[in-house]
A and B are shown apart, each in its own frame.
Chain A
């Protein structure tokens, strides 16, 4: 039961792990059955949507270095103009109304690889000060053994100048840890592909965020 505090605020509902069967609810086709006419989470990339088509992919490693094969991965990003498809983003200027900016998938049960086909986001204006952030994509994880959903940010290796001045990357005290947020561009693939591996623990532990 929820009781307001003395000032009338309500306490946030606590999180719990998504468990090993998160696919049933959120990606039922991966659980092995069809139930809904329309499955959510595929990023529609019609011809009208502007921006460079990219593929992002990676794996998630636990504290022993083992690949996690049962995780849920969601991404949330701006369009190619650096705008979010949401009424809170009121700034003037062009935007891409057909691009939702949200995707959902699961890590593969055999390989542990997750991937999305999307567009490279534009630079987003900072809210509390001047300037723009380097292009980035929010990545959110839920899985068995993860008690509170984990939020991180994917930046792009080929945005050297923008990354160097990015206010969030610069906030990470240890320069070595900034590298955990940089997706590396791989060559030899038909699509422009970036690889973003996430480490939940260890010396390469990914920087996670509390916003």
Chain B
């Protein structure tokens, strides 16, 4: 029986490893081309996570750190599907996210921004996708904030995502933005991706249909991990 290999990653759709727009990448991005390998078992396999490892409120950032009241900010749902490049849902894969609070401040010992900490907001969550590859989080909309790059650089409101596929070669960390944010086109980090259509794939759309009336707005964002190609014909002479 044939197994599957990952389809080659299209690096044209990815950010530049080194981009003068984002100064830190000039010191941290590799300068030499990566060595390309065929899919090995290490790449095809990846860690498997179980529902019993997560808590019932892990995907509800409105409640998972609330002490005395709800966190401040626009109440939103972020939901979507995790698919592979063949448009197949990825079931039971781990999706983790983290974000700033409504003031644009992170709950992190290294964040020196003047924005206020929200005592009722932690800023992280996680869930496994369901049988149709769907994930869902409830949170508050993060605020924009300045960062040290050019002197007046601001990050658009964004949520960081970490996603596992079925294979370690699909491992992805990225950021999701919100439709209509005027800071998006100025963002030095998003603009490390030179392809405009690829940048747009990181922008979640307002999803009124999924919004909870009188309660919570919704945004929808689908995530695509690398697809696979069936290796129907083998060259190995002796079984597997």
A residues engaging B (CB < 8 A)? 1-2, 4, 8-26, 28, 31-33, 35-38, 40, 62-64, 66, 68, 70, 74, 76-78, 84-91, 100-102, 109, 124-130, 133, 138, 140, 142-151, 168, 171-172, 200-201, 205-211
For the residues of A in contact with B, the DSSP-based class is loop
Partner of A18, one of B25, B26, B173: B173
CA distance A128 to B37 in the complex (A): 11
- B123 close to A (CB within 8 Å): yes
Q: Which of A36, A205, A209 has the most CB of B within 10 A?
A: A36
The smallest C-beta distance from A79 to any residue of chain B, in angstroms, reads: 11
**A1-B205, A145-B22 given as contacts; is B48 within 8 A of A16 (CB)?**
no
Residues of chain B within 8 A of A125, CB atoms compared:
41, 240
Partner of B106, one of A14, A21, A78, A101: A21
* Count of A-B contacts judged by CB separation below 8 Å: 283
B residues engaging A (CB < 8 A)? 3, 6-7, 9-11, 13-17, 19, 22, 24-32, 34-49, 53-55, 58, 64-65, 83-87, 94, 96-98, 106-111, 122-124, 126, 160, 162, 166-169, 171-175, 189-190, 192-193, 197-203, 205, 222-227, 235-236, 238, 240
Residues of chain A within 8 A of B46, CB atoms compared:
76, 86, 102
Partner of A11, one of B40, B111, B160, B201: B201
Q: Are B29 and A84 in touch, CB under 8 angstroms? A: no
Partner of B201, one of A2, A17, A25, A68: A2
CA distance A142 to B161 in the complex (A): 12
The smallest C-beta distance from A44 to any residue of chain B, in angstroms, reads: 11
Q: Are B28 and A86 in touch, CB under 8 angstroms? A: no
Q: Are B174 and A13 in touch, CB under 8 angstroms? A: yes
CA distance A2 to B19 in the complex (A): 25
**A18-B173, A76-B42, A211-B43 given as contacts; is B224 within 8 A of A11 (CB)?**
yes
